[in-house]
Chains A and B, each alone.
Chain A
Amino acid sequence: MTTRMSADQDLVRHLSEVSVSVELQTPDMTLNIGPQHPSTHGVLRLVATVDGERAFNVQPVIGYMHRGYEKLAEVRNYPQITTLVNRIDWVSGYANEVPFIVAAERLLGVEVPERAQFIRLILTEMARIASHLVFNASYPLELGAATPLFFALRERERVLDLLESVTGGRFHPNFNRIGGVKPAQGAGSATRKVIQDLPKGFLAETRAAMDKVLATVDELEALVAGNEIILARTKGVGLLPPEIAAAYGMSGPNLRASGVGFDLRKVSDYLPYGQFEFRVPTGANGDCWDRWWVRLEETRQSASIIQQAIDAIPAGPLLAKVPKIIKIPKGEIYVRAENPKGEMGYYLVSDGGLGPYRLKIRSASFSNISILPWILEGTLIPDIIAIMGSLDFVLGDVDR
């Protein structure tokens, strides 16, 4: 026993001598993340300097998805541009069309029929629910919880089916027209004109679907909010103070999670949101957890808005009288909307022609991820995934 003890002591003495004589080298390493990585929701590449488990000087590299829509818009006429813009944020394609169409209508001076505005509002909120459900599917998955994905995507599929039944498209509806919404879906032949409104039973089915969405959101909350691992990985991680968020142009749920109760649906009138009761949920700390919770709560509010809008939808025409060939008078306008990802706006400069002279597209995700170098500075590498996922961006919305 004693001999063994002394042998151990000898070993300890020997090791301590070795460790002082060898200097451990810890050079910084450059870590390349992406562009192909499941947590990037597209093709985002990060180049980070790594010191042990911490990342410093994180530089996002974007542009792999840049399609040049602002240039392409200059060679198209106004009705053709909706097909471009609903490909910007494809998770909520319908919501992208609305601010552009409203900008064009206001420059043209068209009054949109109320029924068309209500249909736009219902479909926009459905797009928001679809987008937030994708977030609620993918974010827990990135943190290791696979089950919520099945609940969330099942509901999203139901919502997308309803969207498809009205517009004909799940992702790229192309349903808005200058002056209203598309009056006839696949309508008629050359000899018999069919005017089709919303498909039969759509409003009742949507109301029922919203009840299911509300039930699923409760289930998701129970699944995720009670998960110790998710709590540990999101609470207090990726803190974002409101003044930094505003200076970077962070908008939407990311801004509201930092405690700023700013929602364009409350302050702007691009759609008749003023008629409905809904809350603007805000977070207390501005961490990943708050960003998840705000989106969950917004899903409930959207479902409630849709049910109120179904109760209040008026009868009437779907399209205002507009000229067959649309020329928009000279002028410029900036219209923004509260999209699922944040503020989406179009700065439209018209010279009186068939298409815009300049169309600047302000997309939410672009500003939302421009904060990555700030928010990822000095974080742990596993937290990079937790923080990026919580910002809920889509690369099509970043690169345009």
Chain B
Amino acid sequence: MTASPSETAPAPLEELATALAQAVGGSAELAHGTAKIRVNRDAWVEAARTARDDFGLVFFSWLSAVDWSNQVEVGDPLAQPVEERYEVVAALADISSGLIVLLSTDLAKDDPKVQSLVGVYAGANWHEREAHEMFGIEFVGHPQLIKLYLPDGFVGYPLRKSFPLLTREVKPWPGKVDVEGMPGQEDEDEPSTENPEA
């Protein structure tokens, strides 16, 4: 058996993505060897079912979300303002050809609800519980939508961009104030790491 590199030879992936997008009424994006199909929220479960039954994407790799937000408490803000939303992403793969496709849908910030995929892929159970506690997304029809990692009484949704990272609130990073000056040297603004002979 020889290797059939999927990431550098996108032709079969492109074919799959276009056909799948057409079948589920979504749009396909292909960049850096990653195919993403955007669908409407109402078509979410049906799209996954079509991907599994008609396109052989029987392997449920993962599900998570991205908080597209113009106001951030942690990290760098976005360079360009975006439409604020939660993007739910699920990765579905074919275990005979090795192709993988990301399925994505946008949820409004004031109504983060989507139908659960547990009926299609049993493995979505834990991934949806994680996305629920981390992003506050409600998966309608999930059999047991309780916290997975976090303690029961935890308040807030840690992976939302509006959730501060408390260690950074207590101590900024990287801390220039941490650096002790060398004895006999004047304090420079930044210690030089350059090679003087180079």
Contact = CB atoms under 8 A, between A and B. Distances in A.
Nearest to A358: B66
Interface in B157-184: 158-159, 163, 165, 168, 173
B50 to A, nearest CB: 16
Interface string B122-156: 11011000000010000000000001111100000
Nearest to A260: B95
Contact of B89 (A66, A273, A360, A370): A360
Interface stretch (A152-160, A308-316, A332-340): A332-340
Interface in A156-200: 190-193
Interface stretch (B15-23, B39-47, B73-81): B73-81
Given A264-B98, A353-B79, A343 B198 contact: no
A308 to B, nearest CB: 14
A4 B82 CA distance: 95
A352 interface: yes
Interface residues of B, number: 55
Interface stretch (A87-95, A126-134, A245-253, A298-306): A245-253
Interface stretch (A9-17, A23-31, A41-49, A69-77): A69-77
A330 B32 CA distance: 11
Contacts of B61: 249, 251, 336, 343, 345, 362, 367
A244 interface: yes
B124 to A, nearest CB: 9
Interface in B83-113: 89, 91, 95-98, 100, 102
Nearest to A66: B149
A267 B61 CA distance: 16
B121 interface: yes
B33 A106 contact: yes
A354 to B, nearest CB: 7
The secondary structure that dominates the A interface is mixed
B60 A247 contact: yes
A62 B7 contact: no
A355 B123 CA distance: 30
30 contacts: A63-B147, A71-B163, A190-B195, A191-B196, A247-B60, A247-B122, A247-B123, A249-B59, A249-B62, A251-B59, A260-B95, A262-B59, A266-B3, A269-B7, A270-B7, A280-B1, A331-B32, A345-B61, A345-B62, A347-B89, A352-B79, A353-B79, A357-B66, A357-B78, A358-B67, A360-B62, A360-B66, A362-B61, A367-B62, A374-B122
Q: Which 10 A-B pairs have the closest CB atoms?
A: A267-B98, A274-B3, A269-B5, A63-B149, A248-B123, A74-B75, A370-B126, A249-B123, A262-B95, A66-B149
